[in-house]
A and B are shown apart, each in its own frame.
Chain A
Amino acid sequence: MHILRHVGWVKRSKTYQILMNGEFRFATPTLHLNTETCLSMLKIENLTIRFDTRYGPLTAVDNVTFEVRPGEVFGLVGESGAGKSLTGQAIIGLLDPPGYIAGGQISLEGVRIDNLAYNHLRALRGRKIGMIFQDPLTSLNPLYTIGKQLTETILTHTSVTTAEAQQQAIALLTDVGIPGAAERINQYPHQFSGGMRQRVVIALALCANPQLVIADEPTTALDVSIQAQILSLLKQMCREHGAAVILITHDMGVISQVAQRVAVMYSGRLVEIGDVRQIVKHPKHPYARGLMGSIPSLHHQVDQLTQIDGAMPRLTDIPPGCAFHPRCPECFDLCREKRPVLKKIANSHIACWLYAQEAHHAG
């Protein structure tokens, strides 16, 4: 797989060279800051991700639209297979083949980034967008010391000397709470515990001061007491570096603690976006309501949890109309026939026919 991906990269960069020689030059993605983009630093419009299989294309992410504001923590929740990780991978251009972006736009600060050539995309990764993966063991190279990995990343993205980069790396490691950073910088990833490794990964993601950090299930592999440490660190570091965060997780608890705005995904589609308080306390979409009800509470004991019967449909048989309708307790004829689109209702956007009337009146 890795080899294949590598070959893919080589191929892509070759086409890029051909284009370069043919007097077709890409402008480097410099900042064109204008008033419009100040409100949203990352804008995703109608993003569609497909997989070509021998049974035909499968749509894994379907027409997803949202924006991330500068400095905010944006939560992307959903169950496994809802397409949340794919959305994250698409933003940073790490979509594994056979997956590809079949439609829509991703723009960072007003510049489209979904159709960038490989070289530009690589410059963007790390410098503009950082990434934190679920498994801290596999996202660090086991053959290099963490110091080498950090300084190398700093050197690729900024113009400093090796000594300065080394200094920066030590400072960064101290910032993420690694005691004795000056000594530990020469250690290998396997010499760190899981929580410490995730701290290193956060340092690595932040070392070039990116404007956006995509954290894909950053605490799923960790124990609760360590999870709390990492979450609060992530929040604090991003505040200090002024980076916006897209937090991808399946855990509503994590989202409610860290995020300001949330998007709930179901079978590749957005069902509700809004303020975290709104969605946690008063979810509107029946799926979001079911999801919140199915979380067992720490404070009071109920006899039965609210359950949503059935399971999320497989990509091969997504029902027509609203994808949630076979499991929805409030579904009616329209839901089975037509797909609802996101409509603004009060402070949030909801894709549900139940609220279509309301939106109509409001709009």
Chain B
Amino acid sequence: MPDKDQALLKVTGLKRYFDVSQPFLNRLLERRKRQYLKAVNGVSFTIKQGETFALVGESGCGKSTIAHLVVGLFPPSAGKIEFDGIDLTTLNNRAQLRPVRRRMAMIFQDPYASLNPRWRVNNIISEPIKAFGLLNGRQAIVQRTSVLLEQVGLSPQDGAKFPHEFSGGQRQRISIARALAGEPEFIVCDEPTSALDVSVQAQILNLIKNLQKKFGLSYLFISHDLAVVRHIADHVGVMYMGRLCESAPVKALFENPRHPYTRLLLDTIPDIEKMGRECAPPQGEIPNPLNPPAGCAFHPRCPQTTDHCICNRPKLENMASDAKVACFQAF
């Protein structure tokens, strides 16, 4: 067991490019070059033991791609992912990956697509137990699934049912139970509540938080909802166009946002406490990720743009109190 304050997950210079070129014949005839979508373009962060690290950003900023890279759904184009000191990118067969995979789990966004509709809940939850060979014997597995179902607030009798018999919130609980089945230390939550209604979202967020306390879990929490992030995270990374533009402890980020994009996000969320107050909406749209702007990717929408921003790309620099910002104007 790694001790506290030690980095459990360390991601350095992570990149993932997707080949979105036209088919070969079209390229040849239309004389086009290969095109790459730079979904993740050099991202580094660390997650400490027992901490919740949240990645926020708008759609297409690459936050979900990072989640998929971390759990190994596809390999990174460049960069390192170190889990408890083991570099995952150097492990390339299933046998080597198995012990690491047991210690990680994932909770998905869509509760309707994340459970196999043809499987009973018991089988869904016990799949990781069987896959990692954690328990032997039918009786032991049945007992374990009952315990897991109770831990997520369902009854053991629900195990015999099929997923379509449950509501969205209950399905997300099943998904969480499956994630807990392998007794992981680290769970990647990919927008776990964005498909749910607010009252159900509150239930799931409370559950996720309680489980963290109970099992000492660490989370990588992907979300587009800043209020949810504020509630659940210890440390937040804000992403824009495949890069981190600010990374700071949650309190610092919300009380003293340094990057103009973070400020823009905070200003524009409809907030029930700022009721009726008219605020000027930000101008501009997210640029086409296939053809990102030169220099700082945010410069076309930034109120403080200078010529320097248009030509040069700012690096993520250390600021006071564990915060990092990628902006020339933040100093």
Binding site for B on A (CB under 8 A): 79-80, 193, 195-196, 223-229, 231-232, 250-254, 256-258, 276-277, 280-281, 290-299, 301-309, 311-312, 314
Taking the closest CB of chain A, its distance from the CB of B196, in whole angstroms, is 9
A62–B268 Cα distance when bound, in Å, is 36
Taking the closest CB of chain A, its distance from the CB of B279, in whole angstroms, is 8
A294: which B residues are within 8 A, CB to CB?
Answer: 198-199, 201-202
**Residues B199-254 near A (CB distance < 8 A):** 199-203, 205-206, 209, 224-228, 230-232, 250-251, 254
Judge whether B275 and A280 touch: CB under 8 Å: yes
Q: What residue in chain A is nearest B267 (Cβ atoms)?
A: A228
Taking the closest CB of chain A, its distance from the CB of B261, in whole angstroms, is 9
A254–B275 Cα distance when bound, in Å, is 9
A257–B199 Cα distance when bound, in Å, is 20
Judge whether B58 and A256 touch: CB under 8 Å: no
A182–B276 Cα distance when bound, in Å, is 34
A299: which B residues are within 8 A, CB to CB?
Answer: 254, 273
Judge whether B199 and A301 touch: CB under 8 Å: no
Judge whether A257 and B270 touch: CB under 8 Å: yes
B202: which A residues are within 8 A, CB to CB?
Answer: 293-296, 305-308
Q: What residue in chain B is nearest A254 (Cβ atoms)?
A: B270
Judge whether A224 and B271 touch: CB under 8 Å: no
Q: What residue in chain B is nearest A236 (Cβ atoms)?
A: B278
A253–B285 Cα distance when bound, in Å, is 22
A267–B110 Cα distance when bound, in Å, is 23
A257–B270 Cα distance when bound, in Å, is 6
Interface centre among B206, B209, B231, B267 (most CB of A within 10 A): B231
Interface centre among B198, B205, B232, B274 (most CB of A within 10 A): B198
Residue B59, interface by CB 8 Å:
yes
Judge whether A228 and B197 touch: CB under 8 Å: no
Residue B269, interface by CB 8 Å:
yes
A307 in complex: contacting residue of B206, B269, B270, B286, CB < 8 Å: B206
Count of inter-chain pairs, beta carbons less than 8 A: 138
Interface centre among B202, B267, B274, B280 (most CB of A within 10 A): B202
Judge whether B199 and A298 touch: CB under 8 Å: no
A280–B274 Cα distance when bound, in Å, is 11
Judge whether B230 and A223 touch: CB under 8 Å: no
A298 in complex: contacting residue of B59, B201, B203, B269, CB < 8 Å: B269
Judge whether A298 and B205 touch: CB under 8 Å: no
Judge whether B276 and A277 touch: CB under 8 Å: yes
Judge whether A253 and B272 touch: CB under 8 Å: yes
Judge whether A229 and B281 touch: CB under 8 Å: yes
Taking the closest CB of chain B, its distance from the CB of A226, in whole angstroms, is 7
11 new A-B contacts at CB < 8 Å, known A228-B270, A250-B197: A223-B286, A224-B268, A228-B268, A253-B270, A253-B272, A276-B276, A295-B272, A296-B225, A296-B232, A298-B227, A308-B202
Judge whether A296 and B275 touch: CB under 8 Å: no
A253 in complex: contacting residue of B58, B169, B267, B271, CB < 8 Å: B271
Judge whether B169 and A311 touch: CB under 8 Å: yes
Judge whether A297 and B273 touch: CB under 8 Å: yes
Judge whether B231 and A224 touch: CB under 8 Å: no
Judge whether A79 and B199 touch: CB under 8 Å: yes
B275 in complex: contacting residue of A80, A196, A277, A303, CB < 8 Å: A277
A359–B269 Cα distance when bound, in Å, is 37
A257 in complex: contacting residue of B205, B275, B285, CB < 8 Å: B275
Judge whether A228 and B250 touch: CB under 8 Å: no
Residue B266, interface by CB 8 Å:
yes
Q: What residue in chain A is nearest B288 (Cβ atoms)?
A: A193
Taking the closest CB of chain A, its distance from the CB of B137, in whole angstroms, is 35
B270 in complex: contacting residue of A231, A303, A314, CB < 8 Å: A231
A291: which B residues are within 8 A, CB to CB?
Answer: 198-199
A232–B281 Cα distance when bound, in Å, is 7
Residue B35, interface by CB 8 Å:
no
Taking the closest CB of chain B, its distance from the CB of A301, in whole angstroms, is 6
Residue B78, interface by CB 8 Å:
no
A292: which B residues are within 8 A, CB to CB?
Answer: 272
24 intermolecular pairs with C-beta atoms under 8 Å apart: A79-B198, A193-B285, A223-B58, A223-B59, A224-B265, A225-B264, A225-B281, A225-B282, A226-B285, A227-B268, A228-B270, A228-B279, A228-B281, A228-B282, A254-B270, A296-B202, A296-B232, A298-B226, A299-B254, A301-B251, A307-B202, A307-B203, A308-B199, A312-B167
A308: which B residues are within 8 A, CB to CB?
Answer: 199, 202-203
